[in-house]
Structure formats: structure tokens, C-alpha cells
Structure 1
Amino acid sequence: MYYPLYLDLYTFVLGCVIGSFLNVCIYRIPEGLSIVRPASRCPNCGQAILWYQNVPILSWLLLRGRCARCAVPISARYPLVEALTGILFWLVFHAFGLQWATPVYWIFTAALVVITFIDLDHQIIPNAISLPGILVGFVCSIAIPWISWTDSLLGILLGGGSLYLVAAVYRLLTGKDGMGMGDVKLLAMLGAFLGWQAVLPVIFFASLIGSLVGVPLMILRRADSKLAIPFGPFLALSAHIYLFWGTAIIRWYLTFFR
């Protein structure tokens, strides 16, 4: 469906602004800090960042990636997160248009961005996001016509239960933890937002992508079988693949093997 160009621009800019706030969450949540106070400041010199120095993407470019006061480099990941969130918001809008599903999946994608980068940095998936996310996904299922509350509830049970079973069996066989409970709670959250139908495809996509990334990394690290690779980012990526293209991929798969 065609939408005016200003709506495209609005959704992208909105996503970038939200992405700026997500950067705060990514940094502060693992440290146990408030995401509201104090205002954003340079971690090196402590100088508060003025509003015109905090415009998503543009301020980083105009400041050439450095603090305006002490000139210490500012990570390029800040504008990357802002741009990524803007693109995801735009994709959600074009996938679902002017309906209640759009703000629901904006919340969903924002949560997954935070989870992805925290898991990459700290190899944890914070309960502060995944547990409320399960509840929010279940409640918001009433706003999504193609997902009933029973689909969402079954998604929570199947998502969390399936990974918990895998983790329990792995520990029983090896005596070691092969998967954290954070991944279990994350998949339960994905099931809440996407329904039980998404659980197996998301696990399949995540396992496939994880293998394609993990095996070469292990080879480069001299076959270090103990190399810890967080699974959360693969689950988050796979959830987005299913959200935007899952139905088309499954239809192609069934047609290909018919």
C-alpha cells in the first residue's frame, strides 16, 4: 500500500529518536543505573550533552565522532543503533501500515535492539526487558488480528518450554550449561509477540544463522569449542526475519518441496 513520503520520513526519524534512548538503555541497564537520570553525559569528562549535541546521527557526524569538550572519540555504535532502529521502525510501518500492530511491533523491535547489544557486550539478557516483554506481548496480542490471546499464550509456553528442555537435556548429558535462562525467557517473549506458529521457524533460522557465524569464528579461533557466542542476537535477528518475511519464506519452502 502506498503512503505519503512524509510518513516514511516520520517513522524513520521517530525510530532514530527512540534509538538514541535505546543507547542509554544499552549502556545503563547492565550497570544497574537509572535510564532516566542523570541526563546523558560524556563518560570521559562528565560534561552534560546539550540537546543540539544529541540529535540522532547528525550530531555524531557534525562532531566528527568526538566529545565537544574533551574530544575523546565517541563510538560509531551510537549512530548505528539510531539508524538501525530507524530502519526497523520504517520496515514495521511498511509491513503493517496504519493499524495497532505497528506500535506494538515498534515496541517489540526496540526491545530486541536493546537485548541484542547488551547480549553482545555482556552475554546476558536482562530480566528487566524479557520478563515485562512477555507480559506486554501477551496483553498486546488483543491489538493484532492474526494472533489470538491463545496463540500468544501457547507461544510463551512453547517458546520458553522448548529451549528450557534443550538446556536441561544438554546439562543432563554434559554436566554443563550450554544455554542461559536468558535465552529461554527471550524465546518466551518472542512467542508472546509472534504467536506459537513462529517458535519453530525462529529457532530454525537462529540455529542456521548461528552455525553460519559460529563455525567460521571457531575455525578462526583455532577450533576453540569453548568459544562463547551469545545466542540472543541470532534469536532477535530471526524474529525480525519471521516478522517481515516469515510467511513468504515458509510458503516458498512448502512450494519448493511439494
Structure 2
Amino acid sequence: MSLIIFVSGALFGSFLCLASERYCPRRSFFASWRSLCQPPSHCLTCHHRLRWYDLLPLVSFALLNGRCRYCRHPLPLNLLLAESGYGSACLLLYWLQPDPKPLIAVLWFSSILFLLATIDMRLLLLPDELVFALLWSGLLLGEYFPLTDIRARIEGVCLGFLTLFLLNALYRLWRKTEGIGQGDMKLLAGIGAWCGWQLLPSVVVIAAVLALSVLCCQRKILVTLQENIPLPFGCYLSVAGWICFILNNLISYPLAL
């Protein structure tokens, strides 16, 4: 059963990676989803259509030594990371929560956060359709996780948005420019709908630590890193929200206030 869960997760991780790559803000959200079927999967370098046996998660990458079968150009590493990472995450969630209904709910939560994080990394954008899907599904599906009641989740929505809104207002007074995007505010509200207001301080702290750690590593590697480069903070909020939700609801590690 564990092998089936891992392989299914790897397949779905590959699909989510494709959905993220084909999302285009100039098209409607539903038009972007239709683009998952047309054009068919192809090599981004030689544009050769890929066969089904070229799309087997992890296996194809290993058999082809990480290169396109037709032009031998290196395959994107993010695909390997998405397949292995999402497959491992699904397996971990199955071990922690084998009950089908809560498991499906947390997989939905994980999938939306994955899409939001990868789209934000690529485009510095958090689509409203995904953010609001995260928010409303958190209010509706949170009943499967009794540690957070509906009142705490509603308060989490309000506090999540207001926290970053006020921080941005203070930053704007200090630097005369925007410091936090509205997408990040709405994303934290969506995370609050799942985690409740009690976990939001931990989410913000972990996200800030992750962002600063990555920024410091970039400055070590790229000495000429320019200042005032936009930071995909939504990516770090997504990771932090997922970590806090799993620790609090599935592992029962105390993070809430």
C-alpha cells in the first residue's frame, strides 16, 4: 500500500508541476487549466512530443540519466524534486493520518499550497482563485481536525489578513513603498482558515526565518545580488503553513498560543 501511495503521489506531483508551469496570468484561471491538455507534454528544448513511457515519475528520469530521449538536453531538476517530494509527502501524510476523509482534506490543502508556492517562485504572483479556494475549503473542511474549531478558523482569516496589512502599512510609512503584497495577506488569511489564529504567529516566524535563511545563502553564493529584489514570500508562507498544520493537527506538537 505504501508503494501505491508513493507512486500515486509522484504522479500527482508531476501533474501539479505541469499545472504550475502552464499557469499564465494573462489567461483566465480556467483557460490555464485547459492548457494542461493542449499542447500535449513535450520537451521544452526540442519540442518533441513525449510518449507515455517518457512520463513515468522518477523511473523515466533515472533510465534517461536526467536527459531528454530525443535531444539529450538535461531535464529540469524541479520535475524530479516535485515528483519525489510530493510522493514522499503523500506517504508521510498517509502514515500520520490513514483515515480517508481527513487524509483527502490535508492532501487538498497540500496541493493548493504547492501550486501557490511554485507559481509565486516563478511569477511573484499568488492567483486569487487558488487563495480563495484555500480559504473557503479551510472553513468547510476544518471540521475534520477538531483541534481547531470554526470560531478559531474565522478569527484566523481576519487576523491573518490584518497582521500583514498592518505590517505593510508600517513599512510603507517607513520606506515610502510597498513591502508586502496583497497576495501574501490573502494567503495568510487562507492559512488561518486551516490553522486557526493560534498558529499564525508560528507561521509568520517560520516563514521569516526560511526567507532570511535563503536570502543569506543567496548573498553568500551571489556576491553581486542586487538590493530591492522582490522576494516570493508566499512560497515561504506556504511551507511554514504546511509545517505548522502538520505538526499541530497530525503530530500533536504544541505550536498554538
Please classify the TM superposition score into its range, dividing by the shorter chain length: 0.7 to 0.9
1:245 partner letter:
L
1:67 counterpart SS class: coil
**Runs (5+) with no aligned partner, structure 1:** 1-5
**Runs (5+) with no aligned partner, structure 2:** none
Identify the residue that residue 57 of structure 2 maps to in structure 1: 56
Q: Distance in 2 between matches of 1:223 and 1:63?
A: 35
Identify the residue that residue 21 of structure 2 maps to in structure 1: 27
- CA shift digits 1:154-188 (9 cap, x unpaired): 22111122112211221133211111111111111
1:113 counterpart SS class: helix
Identify the residue that residue 36 of structure 2 maps to in structure 1: 36
Identify the residue that residue 173 of structure 1 maps to in structure 2: 174
**Structure 1 position 218, deviation (Å):** 4.1
Q: Distance in 1 between matches of 2:181 and 2:17?
A: 24
Q: Distance in 2 between matches of 1:43 and 1:202?
A: 36
- CA shift digits 1:99-134 (9 cap, x unpaired): 422111111111222222222222222223212221
Q: Which of 223, 240, 243 is residue 241 of structure 1 equivalent to? A: 243
Report the TM-score, using the length of structure 2 for normalisation. 0.85
2:153 partner letter:
S
Q: Distance in 2 between matches of 1:158 and 1:206?
A: 16
Identify the residue that residue 15 of structure 1 maps to in structure 2: 9
Q: Distance in 2 between matches of 1:215 and 1:21?
A: 32
Note if contact 1:134-1:192 (Cα within 8 Å) is conserved in structure 2.
Answer: yes
**Structure 1 position 223, deviation (Å):** 7.7
**Structure 1 position 222, deviation (Å):** 5.5
1:248 partner letter:
Y
Note if contact 1:100-1:144 (Cα within 8 Å) is conserved in structure 2.
Answer: no
Q: Distance in 1 between matches of 2:82 and 2:43?
A: 18
Identify the residue that residue 228 of structure 2 maps to in structure 1: 226
**Structure 1 position 82, deviation (Å):** 0.9
Q: Does 1:148 align with 2:153?
A: no
Report the TM-score, using the length of structure 1 for normalisation. 0.85
- CA shift digits 1:232-256 (9 cap, x unpaired): 22212212321233452539xx9xx
CA RMSD of aligned residues (A): 2.3
Aligned residues: 246
Identity of aligned residues (%): 27
